[in-house]
Amino acid sequence: MEGFNNPEDIGRRFEREQRGVLRQREEELSDSLAPFRVGSVPYLNAVPLTRGLENEVILATPSKLAEMLRRDELDAALVSVTEVLFSDRYDILDGVAVASLGEVKSVFLAHRRPIAEVKEIFCDPASLTSVNLLRILLAEQGIFPAFKTLPSYDHATLPDYTLLIGDPAIDFLRSAPTDHQTWDLGTAWFEFTGLPFVYAVWALRRGIEYKKLARQLRDAKDFGLDTLDYIISSRSEYDLSFRKDYLGWHIHYHLGPDEKRGLKRFADLLTKHNVGRVFEPKYVM
């Protein structure tokens, strides 16, 4: 009995118990979304929000998910935050977001020449939020370029000014050195406002009974954060050091008072610069 209580045995027993608890939580989340149709993005930064639901969610770019929501092909989706600000048909799941406080690493303007000289910017069309964030940050400096669709992700042929987001942006950062510099929009927003920036939220389509769905999405987020070390160590994207830095530091997943203040500031600036009609976000538990 004495040997069974030594520190090594206690540690092994604790690990077994923890593995059992994690398996149980994973099983409880498995097949739990039915009959709801839920979409998420195929980016590394969203992985912790769908822990245990991986086989149940539809993966698509933020812009594609927004289209599916508008056509009522989805009941909920992790979408760019402008989708809920520009439409009065969704509620926001409180407490959950993809956000950053400062440098984000995966949303930036790659520029070959000084930003002050920019006349046109080619944009990854996947996220309207990133485009409008860049538009606002430049407008606040009196810079009003034309925005065009990026024709190719080929790093060798990138235009002088290119907005990149998500995994393609990370791929660019980690590629062979180029003659482009990068302007991280998370950093730029924090330096301008002192607030976090919210990139994506769970949009819930109004008209459905979503209490169960909301609970499952919150449980998936909790499970993802509780097992973040496992996600970081088990994913294959990039290398371990980068995953630790990106998921453990640059991105965070809570939607609290500071994030809501940041979201309101963004909404106010969208209105100020006549980007579009903005609706007050409605948060639900």
Query: What pLDDT digit, counting tens, does each position of 50-94 carry?
Result: 999 999 999 998 889 999 999 999 999 999 999 999 999 999 999
For residue 191, the model assigns a pLDDT of 98
Neighbours of 64 (CB within 10 A): 16
Contact 279, 133 (CB under 8 A): no
* The pLDDT of residue 69: 94
**Helix, strand, coil distribution of the chain in percent, nearest 5:** 45, 20, 35
Q: Are 124 and 43 in contact (CB under 8 A)?
A: no
- Eight-class DSSP state of 221: H
* Residues in contact with 171: Cβ distance below 8 Å, sequence separation at least 6, in sequence order: 153
Q: What is the DSSP letter of 51?
A: T
* pTM reported for the whole predicted model: 0.88
pLDDT (0 to 100) of residue 14: 40
Look-up: residue for tokens 């302007």? 183
Around 219, how many Cα atoms within 13 Å sit in the side-chain half-sphere? 18
CB 253 within 8 A of CB 99: yes
**Predicted pLDDT of residue 257:** 97
C-beta neighbour count of 125 within 10 angstroms: 17
Using DSSP's 3-state secondary structure scheme, residue 52 falls into coil
List of domains in the chain:
3-100+196-267 (3.40.190.10), 107-193 (3.40.190.10)
Could you tell me the two tokens for 218? 């919150």
pLDDT at 126: 78
Q: Is-contact 250 103, C-beta < 8 A? A: yes
Walk along the chain (285 residues) and give the pLDDT tens digit of each residue: 445 565 555 445 445 545 544 655 565 565 578 899 999 999 999 999 999 999 999 999 888 999 999 999 999 999 999 999 999 999 999 999 999 999 999 999 999 999 999 999 999 877 789 999 999 999 999 999 999 999 988 888 899 999 999 888 999 998 866 789 999 999 999 999 999 999 999 999 998 888 999 999 999 999 999 999 999 999 999 999 999 999 999 999 999 999 999 999 999 999 999 998 999 999 998
